[in-house]
Chain A
Amino acid sequence: MGRQLKFKIFRFNPQNPESVPRMEVFSLDETDSMTLFIALNRIREEQDGSLQFEFCCRAGICGSCAMVINGRPGLACHTKTKDLPDEITLTPLPVFELVGDLSVDTGSWFREMYNKVESWVHTDKVFDPNAIEDPMDNAIAEEIYELDRCVECGSCVAACGTARLRDDFMGATALNRLGRFVIDPRDKRTDEQYFEVIGSDEGIFGCMGLLACEDVCPKNLPLMNQLSYLRRKMGVVALKQIFKK
């Protein structure tokens, strides 16, 4: 008990022409079970009402509070200050557009991602609202659910060296999203159609295997396994197309 925490927080308001990017220092006495969510709210209430950051569920579900915490992207509401040193540096996620201070616009990025990977079940089956839902094999349902746990926080993209180097790279969350439909029996897209979406250096073949996505994902999604699965699968699609000719 009784630690005095020093927060170095990135400040910049792009709306204000007078604002310049800078780091500001705040001090706070640590309390029991303090999370960064609690700390940031106290700073805003007690020290600087203009501090911008995002929160919603404060329980690791909505994915809106991701930021760079001492160099690593992660969820602020899921991070306890007792796991951090006395000095805590907070910066906004790179890659995404800055709204102000620690707040970035992940929403637009993810919206574009849905469109790119066509994040919906593609089927020609006409929907009948009165019919009972088709049953699904439990093992497959669980496998899909595992990949569906992504909370769209953007940490994996911000931690990705490839995404930093080339802004057209889709990132682990997008590839994971498409992979979720690949194993969904209701989606009638063929492997060739999936290949059209991710079978390039913008997609799976751009991945250089740096694995920061795997190591930062706050929901521990199996990104490493998922990416290598897609690389093999899409690699085989390309070989098949060549040898068919």
Chain B
Amino acid sequence: MSFDLPVTAAKSGKTDAILDWLQMISGVALIIFVFMHMTLVSSVLINPGIMDAIAHTYEANYMAQVGGPLLFLLFLFHFYLAARKIPFRLEGQKTIWAHAKMLNHRDTWLWIVQAASAMIILIMGSIHMWAVLSDLPITAARSAARMQSGPWVYFYLLLAPLVVLHVVAGLYRIAVKWGVAKDYSREKLNKIAIGLGIAFIVIGLATIVRFMTLAV
């Protein structure tokens, strides 16, 4: 009987399934990291002393020295996984761009925003991590000094909103792909994502302004 005949498998193996799991898990880990990171750095808004104390705790426990490079590996790992989906050839880029323009569909545009912001974050995120981790310890004064020198403020004014955008889009995407949100809760999820996005962009910008005004 046909049901125990070998199925005409287009392609077998578990690789794609595992990579999809890992993509989701790396995404969730990065979402948690970014939200925690931005919240902790924003403690400078209350008082630079608090930020120094938090940073000091992290360094005393080697979480910055070990965690930092580990995070960089996670960042590269996530890039490796997600890049499987990005069209790197011009032909593919033209196709998806024309498709998005034709459809004019929110979640299709959102994916383009996510893929495009990803490429910028890959470069700027690496620069940011290098700049901070090669100049330990982390203190409010050092961050303020960096922010006030050269083009760094523009660098962060671009990076912070882009990361928030990418992360919030990722959160939305994971929730709809894995069924955390169902069709009836999709618009609610969308509102939560927009709310989170606005909140963290405001926190990020406020932190940048605080660093700009901190006496060094």
Chain A contact residues, CB within 8 Å of chain B: 68, 71-72, 94, 115-116, 118, 122-124, 159, 161, 164-165, 168, 187-189, 193, 195-197, 199-203, 205-212, 214-215, 222, 224-225, 227-229, 231-232, 234-235, 237-239, 241-242
Q: Cβ of A159: which chain B residues have Cβ within 8 Å of it?
A: 103, 105
Can you list the 5 inter-chain pairs with the closest CB atoms, starting with the nearest? A228-B179, A122-B3, A238-B17, A209-B177, A124-B1
B103 touches A72 (CB 8 A): yes
Chain A residue nearest to B180 (CB atoms) is A228
Q: Mark B59-92, 1 if CB is under 8 A from A, else 0.
A: 0000000000000000000000000110100001
Q: Cβ of A232: which chain B residues have Cβ within 8 Å of it?
A: 178-179
A212 touches B176 (CB 8 A): no
Can you give 28 A-B contacts (C-beta < 8 A)?
Answer: A72-B105, A116-B10, A118-B2, A123-B1, A164-B96, A165-B95, A168-B10, A193-B3, A193-B7, A197-B9, A199-B14, A200-B17, A203-B10, A205-B20, A208-B111, A209-B107, A209-B173, A209-B176, A210-B108, A212-B103, A212-B107, A212-B108, A224-B176, A224-B183, A224-B186, A227-B177, A238-B17, A241-B14
Chain A residue nearest to B179 (CB atoms) is A228
CB within 8 A of A161: which of B3, B8, B21, B111?
Answer: B111
Within 8 A of A (CB), among B93-133: 95-96, 99-105, 107-108, 111
Bound Cα distance A41, B103 (Å): 25
Q: Cβ of A165: which chain B residues have Cβ within 8 Å of it?
A: 87, 92, 95-96
Query: B interface, by DSSP: helix, strand, loop or mixed?
Result: helix
* Given A200-B11, A202-B10, A235-B21: A228 in contact with B103 (beta carbons within 8 A): no
Given contacts A210-B108, A237-B17, 9 further A-B contacts (CB under 8 A): A71-B102, A116-B10, A122-B1, A164-B95, A197-B9, A200-B13, A202-B10, A224-B182, A228-B179
Chain A residue nearest to B10 (CB atoms) is A202
Bound Cα distance A216, B79 (Å): 31
Interface size class of B (residues with CB under 8 A): 35 or more
Within 8 A of A (CB), among B1-55: 1-4, 7-14, 16-21
Bound Cα distance A99, B97 (Å): 25
A211 touches B107 (CB 8 A): yes
Bound Cα distance A94, B186 (Å): 27
Q: Cβ of A212: which chain B residues have Cβ within 8 Å of it?
A: 103, 105, 107-108
Q: Cβ of A116: which chain B residues have Cβ within 8 Å of it?
A: 8, 10
* Given A164-B96, A199-B14: A231 in contact with B177 (beta carbons within 8 A): yes
* Given A161-B100, A168-B10, A196-B7: A231 in contact with B1 (beta carbons within 8 A): no
* Residue among A161, A201, A242 facing the most chain B CB atoms (10 A cut-off): A161
A199 touches B3 (CB 8 A): no
Bound Cα distance A199, B14 (Å): 7
